[in-house]
Amino acid sequence: MAINVQTIQGEWNSLCGLARQRWGQLTDDDLRVQEGNIEQLVGRIQQKTGEGREAIERFFSEMTARGSSAVAHATEAAGQYVHQVRDQIRDRYDRAEGTVRHHPTETVLAALGIGLVAGLIAGLAIRHR
């Protein structure tokens, strides 16, 4: 068989929908009866449509190749995005670390001030309850 059976079984529901679009005479029962068995599905499509086995297998091969290609592109794009975010985080961390190293006193005073303001706000919120 020219098609990748494992790939098709992994994308069974999607491919059944595509098969219904391509071969409108297929019923839900036709697709459900096969329960992931591509050999039986191809046979059922042949029986119902009279289309040749090679054409049916080519259709499924093309559909799974498109799906695999789209997944590969999405995975690559997500990986690039993760690398960009990681680089941005590292850059910001390095800048913050540099600021703390060059201005330790100011950094401690700023943290103290922020903590004091946060404490006052929390105290006022509790007091009003």
Answer for the pair 5, 15: CB distance below 8 angstroms, yes or no. Answer: no
Q: Is 12 left (phi over 0), alpha (psi -120 to 50) or beta?
A: alpha
| Domain assignment of residue 112, yes or no | no
Q: Is 42 exposed, middle or buried (0-12, 13-18, 19+ CB in 10 A)?
A: buried
pLDDT digits (tens, 9 = 90+) for 102-121: 999 999 999 999 999 999 99
| Domain assignment of residue 119, yes or no | no
Tokens 């005479």 — which residue? 25
| Domain assignment of residue 74, yes or no | yes
Answer for the pair 72, 44: CB distance below 8 angstroms, yes or no. Answer: no
pLDDT digits (tens, 9 = 90+) for 38-92: 788 888 888 888 989 888 888 878 777 766 555 566 667 777 888 899 999 999 9
Which domain CATH number covers 70?
A: 1.10.1470.10
| Domain assignment of residue 90, yes or no | yes
| Domain assignment of residue 19, yes or no | yes
Q: Which residues, in sequence order, are CB contacts of 12 under 8 Å at separation 6+?
A: 36
| Domain assignment of residue 111, yes or no | no
DSSP one-letter code for 3: S
Question: At 47, which helix (H) or strand (E)?
Answer: helix 38-49
Task: Identify the domain containing residue 99 by its residue range.
Answer: 5-103
| CA angle centred on 114, ends 112 and 120, rounded to 5° | 100
Q: What is the pLDDT of residue 110?
A: 93
Q: Is 111 exposed, middle or buried (0-12, 13-18, 19+ CB in 10 A)?
A: exposed
- Highest-scoring range by mean pLDDT, 30-34, 81-85, 120-124: 120-124
| Domain assignment of residue 63, yes or no | yes
| Domain assignment of residue 118, yes or no | no
- Domain count for the chain, please give it: 1
Q: What is the pLDDT of residue 9?
A: 55
